[in-house]
Amino acid sequence: MNCSALLSLMLMLVQLCPCSPSMQNRSTQNTDQSFTAVRRVKRGWVWEPLFATEEQTSMVPVYIGQLKSDLDKQDGNLIYLLTGEGAGNIFVIDENNGKIYVKEKLDREKKPFYTLRAQAINKSTKLPVEPESEFIIKVRDVNDHEPQFLDGPYMATVPEMSPEGTSVTQVTATDGDDPSYGNSARLLYSLIQGQPYFSVEPKTGVIRMASQMDRETKDQYLVIIQAKDMVGQAGAFSATATVTINLSDINDNPPKFQQRLYYMNVSEEAPVGTTVGKVFAEDSDIGENAAMNYFIEGDSSDAFDIITNNETQEGIILLKKRVDYESKRRYSIEAKVVNRYIDDRFLKEGPFEDKTIVKISVEDADEPPVFTLDNYVMEIAEGAMSGSLVGVVTARDPDDDDCPVRYSIVHGMHLKRLFSINEHNGTIITTKPLDREIASWHNITVTATETRNPEKISEANVYIQVLDVNDHAPEFPKYYETFVCENAVSGQLIQSISAVDQDDSAEGHQFYFSLAQEATNNSHFIVKDNKDNTAGIFTAKSGFRRQEQFSFYLPILILDNGIPPLTSTNTLTITVCDCDTKVNTLYCRYGAFMYSMGLSTEALVAILACILILLVFFLAIVAIRQQRKKSSFSEKTEEFRENIVRYDDEGGGEEDTEAFDISALRTHTVMRTHKPRKKVTTEIHSLYRQSLQVGPDSAIFRQFISEKLEEANTDPSAPPYDSLQTYAFEGTGSLAGSLSSLGSNISDSDQSYDYLTDWGPQFKQLAGMYTFHRSVGD
């Protein structure tokens, strides 16, 4: 709390218990006693509001009010007591006269009121003369808080050229003082910086436009607002806030071309769509307010167009159609620019558009020859003799020097074989007769080249139509299979025929059918023309016999309506069939085939029998060859079986590697030295130790390899060239050696098998079998 601030206290006494009528009357009677200013009576207690200042900085208590009972006769017989919040430390009372003092500075923002109780006691009896009464001391506010802008700094946006009085934004400050008492919390707003463009309402803090402002002149303003409490009186506290106000753009400026006249050039060789140049208009606005569209006005040639680049806001002038230096060398067009989005509020200030003049000069270039037509259509009759004229193409050099041109045909070697062109005058002739039925149109490409500059070439398409000539007679569209039954009656329809013509008829084909002259008198059939390009074949008699004549050949004359008309004779083959009610087509075809071959049924049966005999003979030969192959295989099998020796003796085991040699059985030139079987009973332990040491470097392994090499070198059945021999070396054998009796000079009765019991339980059963066998033998 500020030490220089004033503290205003209001002391109010409240009696808790109800007032008695006698006391109320007594209080009423005392209303005209000494408290004349703001004197109030409540039962036996009397209090009045007083004020004290906070400027006292000493420890001397400050008097704030007095409590007094109307029973107090001023004789010193009563004492006053004070209890409750702050009693004794903040608030003290003079017990003799009831005056209340405050000893400390109070802060309303921390505690706005205190609740205390007062009591008057008789000194003599120590008894209260009044009931204990509760009262409240309210702390009056003083201006001890400064205003604050809690939301600052502020940002605001307002459209440019807004009218005066337009609301921009509102700023609000807060004050911690009591707004319900005094002027401590009553704020007043004022503008420190921002005149003359803005103003602020003193009581609300609303900032308004004071004049119209142009964003293009200045787009941002800094405004300072001050808030002062105490309604701006002397000694009031104040605070300031900054407000940044931006002016948003509106479309209040038309576009303006940078130049009133533009000069551009374009080559006469430039293709359509070439960029001729660019124009640019400036607009002080921004964003969509600066968007614009370009147009062309006053271009009677319609040779140029303009488009808008939306990114750069430039107008791009394009070539809309080809220009010719020799025809026109200069163009003058008028370009116009218009704002895309227009604000109706500013239309009265003028149109939002601008215009400029663009002068375009055509640059001369060495151009290729130009044909009089882009496409030529020519005609020639089919069958025209070689060298016939088809047509003429013409091209010229458009430049002033008028260079001579040379003609040629390109695109397809076969076209050069059909047509040729005079390279000097462009005359096209045929090199061979043309057939419309093969190709009715021919498309060729003719080039024209400057003689002095072969790089300048131009092309033209020539379409040649081959006109039809009636050079093909009509004919049957297909081969007709016609059959007639032996029991057919006269006037019976046996076939319908039609005709086709490869020629083309502008009026449509019309065919006429009739019998040929040579078959008119003695034919068994007649032809009836249906007048619709079809005809019917009818029998002229009843009954036919296959034995007399198997088939008939009917010559039919077909005439077309071409110019000149052509005729053809087509033969219709009619086969006689042996049928009752209807034609058996398959049987008739078989009979016709046999008849055409000149064979009878008996001859055909004989031929089939011969074919069957030959087939059986061929199968027999194949079967015999297969049997021979099987016999050869069985002989080889017997040879192998003869080399196998069967015996009931036991084998020699792993050690007995020479007990059987198949090569020795095949040839008797090599006899191996018989090696008697070693006695294993005396060498078991040594062999066991040796078998554990056998390896590629051991003496046993080297001896085994040497023996095998010697056998291979002395074997007469070995191939006479180096060969790879593969062996499976098993070492020195098992501990027991070989169990075979082959090659052994010792009989079973001479051997002892007691060592088998030392091999472990795995050989227990084997040891018992040999022991039993030996005892039986003995």
Q: DSSP letters along 379-399, please? A: EEETTPPTT-EEEE--EE--S
Tokens of 195: 């005149």
Between vectors from CA 487 to CA 486 and to CA 489, what angle results, nearest 5°? 115
Instruction: Tell me the mean pLDDT in the region 652-669.
Output: 48
Q: What are the backbone dihedrals phi and psi of residue 208, each rounded to the nearest 5 degrees, phi first? A: -130, 160
Confidence check: pLDDT of 103 > 50: yes
Q: What is the pLDDT of residue 498?
A: 93
Q: What are the backbone dihedrals phi and psi of residue 429, each rounded to the nearest 5 degrees, phi first? A: -130, 165
Tokens of 574: 């009619």
Q: Cα dist. 765→702, 757, 761, 762 in Å?
A: 37, 9, 8, 8
Average confidence score pLDDT of the chain? 77
Q: Is the peptide bond before 555 cis (omega within 30 degrees of 0)?
A: no
Question: Beta 493-498 vs 534-539: how paired, if at all?
Answer: antiparallel
Q: Write the pLDDT tens digit of every residue in 370-427.
A: 999 989 999 998 888 999 999 999 998 887 777 899 999 986 666 557 899 999 999 9
Q: What percent of the chain has pLDDT over 70?
A: 73
Confidence check: pLDDT of 605 > 80: no
**Where residue 34 falls among pLDDT bands split at 50, 70, 90?**
very low
Instruction: Tell me the mean pLDDT in the region 106-116.
Output: 84
Q: What is the pLDDT of residue 304?
A: 94
- List the single range of 235-244, 348-357, 434-443, 584-593 with lowest mean pLDDT: 584-593
Q: What is the pLDDT of residue 221?
A: 95
Q: Write the pLDDT tens digit of every residue in 294-333.
A: 999 877 778 999 999 999 999 999 999 999 888 899 999 9
**H or E stretch covering 359:** strand 353-363
| Rounded Cα–Cα distance for residues 439 and 504 (Å) | 12
Question: Beta 91-93 vs 99-102: how paired, if at all?
Answer: antiparallel
Q: Write the pLDDT tens digit of every residue in 124-152.
A: 888 888 888 888 888 877 777 889 999 88
Contact yes or no for 771/764 (Cβ under 8 A)? no
The neighbour count for residue 301, using CB atoms within 10 Å, is: 12
Q: Is the pTM of this model over 0.75?
A: no
Instruction: Tell me the mean pLDDT in the region 674-699.
Output: 50
* Best CA proximity match to 404, nearest among 395, 416, 412: 395
Q: What percent of the chain has pLDDT over 90?
A: 28
The neighbour count for residue 413, using CB atoms within 10 Å, is: 8
Confidence check: pLDDT of 509 > 70: yes
Q: Write the pLDDT tens digit of every residue in 525-565.
A: 989 999 998 999 999 888 888 878 888 888 989 898 877 88
- List the single range of 71-80, 238-247, 486-495 with lowest mean pLDDT: 71-80
Per the listing, tokens 């009581």 go with 203
Instruction: Tell me the mean pLDDT in the region 72-89.
Output: 86
More confident residue, 192 or 775: 192
- For 15-112, where are the E strands, in sequence order? 40-42, 45-47, 62-66, 68-69, 78-84, 91-93, 99-102
| Rounded Cα–Cα distance for residues 87 and 521 (Å) | 164
Between vectors from CA 681 to CA 675 and to CA 684, what angle results, nearest 5°? 90
Contact yes or no for 136/117 (Cβ under 8 A)? no
Q: What is the pLDDT of residue 261?
A: 95
CA 632 to chain CA mean position, Å: 73
Instruction: Tell me the mean pLDDT in the region 327-345.
Output: 89
Q: Write the pLDDT tens digit of every residue in 168-223.
A: 999 999 988 777 777 888 899 999 999 999 999 999 999 999 998 999 899 999 99
Q: Is the peptide bond before 196 cis (omega within 30 degrees of 0)?
A: yes
Contact yes or no for 9/65 (Cβ under 8 A)? yes
* Best CA proximity match to 426, nearest among 380, 452, 393: 393
- Alpha helices per DSSP H over 165-311: none
DSSP state of 550: S
